[in-house]
Amino acid sequence: MRGLGLLGLLLWGLGLAQAPVLYLPLDDRPPNWGPCTWELVACPPREVYRGLKGADLTALRAWLLASPGEKLVAGLDVLAYGGLLQSRHLALPAEDALARLAPLLAWKVRYGGELLLFGVVPRWDATQRRRNLAVLEALASWPGLPGVYLEAVWDDALRGSPAPREARGLPYPSRPGTDEAGQVLLLRAFRPGLKVAVVYEEEALAERITPYEGVPLRDTVRGVVQSALATEVPLEGEPDLVLYVYGGGNPRGVVRDLLGLMPRFPVALADLSRVNRGDSRLMAYLLDLGLYPRLASYASWGTPANNLGSALAQGGLFLRDQKGRLRRLAEAYFAYWWGEVGRPWVRARFPEPLPLEAQGVAALWPYLELEGYRVGLGRILFPWERAFEAEVWLDLVPISLPKGRHLVE
């Protein structure tokens, strides 16, 4: 099974391995597809996901019903509509969309696994908003079934958007965010009960109404933590992980906070200074002082909920996996670099759909070192033929160390 590795496949065949966690990403954009590369979960074959065309639903259902698992994390919109983009505009009766979700219950009956599901309350410009909301309302009985967790996440709520109100009207949990939801539910699947202390750059930040979400940041943080089935505790409560929330105010003050926190706790840093971009001032401090490689995780690629969810999920999932933690930090740095350097460079030079020449942006990749490894950029692809996101292959190349020191493998 994809994502299990050779040893996992062998043990599975011998009946010695625990049934895997299955993951149906919302689509194949990097934040959603990324966990399929983490060697934690079993995913459908990549060719089932077809970028702008949406998923091949026949192949996706066939894979699902042929794949046993202990738990299944899935975005409803990929099975109902083919993906997030398709969910906004695909003309399909609500009854047909609901019928397309039936294989989820069939999988549960066949294999007895747990379902961890999320559906999307669509954003303001979706032409099929009423249909999508009707589908979510029709699923009201699902959370009452044994072993089924269902939540709704709302997508890009600009000021005045009805999405927060609509989501709160559903009879199951809801919160802002979308593209991080799969990662957060994977944390719920693998490490329920994680103890998390939340530290804000300044307390006033917790009451700020954040872009694309329409609620105070404190509510967004609380929703993400609850989605992960984590427990929020104070710093004195011996947290497994500290989620540090940076709002873009004072990067030097953040560094002072991190210097005090990092010797005592693993710290996941969510940079909420700008939407889809990080703070270059803060990143310069983190790299110059050697703090970035010591973080449990970092995220700056999306909206506040996106970044909070990614930082929390990756920090929790890789707490005890040093190599995995460094790989996630390398990927997070690429996402930061893409927002600061790569995306602006590509947009200034190439129209969309992007030509192959746009891959030349790889020549701008800087030198990055993470605890004895140089992060090399292998190649960049644009599966959606646009500059907003890029799919990248990164290599962690060992650097020669002085005698007596050893790399962590």
- Position 400 confidence tier, pLDDT thresholds 50, 70, 90: confident
Calpha distance 276→271 (Å, rounded): 10
Complete DSSP assignment for 302-329 = SSHHHHHHHHHHHHHHTTT-HHHHHHHH
For residue range 167-202, list pLDDT tens digits in order.
999 999 999 999 999 999 999 999 999 999 999 999
Look at residue 18 in the predicted model and tell me its pLDDT. 53
pLDDT at 408 over 60: no
Q: How far apart are CA 143 and CA 116, in angstroms?
A: 10
Cα 111 to its chain centre, rounded Å, is 26
pLDDT at position 13 over 50: no
Q: How far apart are CA 269 and CA 237, in angstroms?
A: 19
Distance CA 325, CA 293 (A): 9
Q: In the chain, pLDDT over 90 holds for what percent of residues? A: 89
Mean per-residue pLDDT, 197-221: 96
- Give the chain's mean pLDDT: 93
Q: Tell me: the pLDDT tens digits for 220-239?
A: 999 999 999 999 999 999 99
Which domains occur in the chain, in start order? Answer: 1-190 (3.40.50), 191-320 (3.40.50.2300), 336-398 (no CATH)
| Residue 14 pLDDT exceeds 80 | no
pLDDT digits (tens, 9 = 90+) for 233-288: 999 999 999 999 999 999 999 999 999 999 999 999 999 999 999 999 999 999 99
Give the pLDDT confidence score for residue 159 in this predicted structure: 83
State residue 158's pLDDT score. 85
pLDDT at residue number 383: 87
Residue 402 pLDDT? 52
Residue 98 scores a pLDDT above 70: yes
Kindly state the percentage of the chain with pLDDT values over 70. Answer: 93
108-153: pLDDT as tens digits? 999 999 999 999 999 999 999 999 999 999 999 999 999 999 999 9
Q: What is the pTM of this model?
A: 0.93
Q: Give the pLDDT mean for 91-115.
A: 98
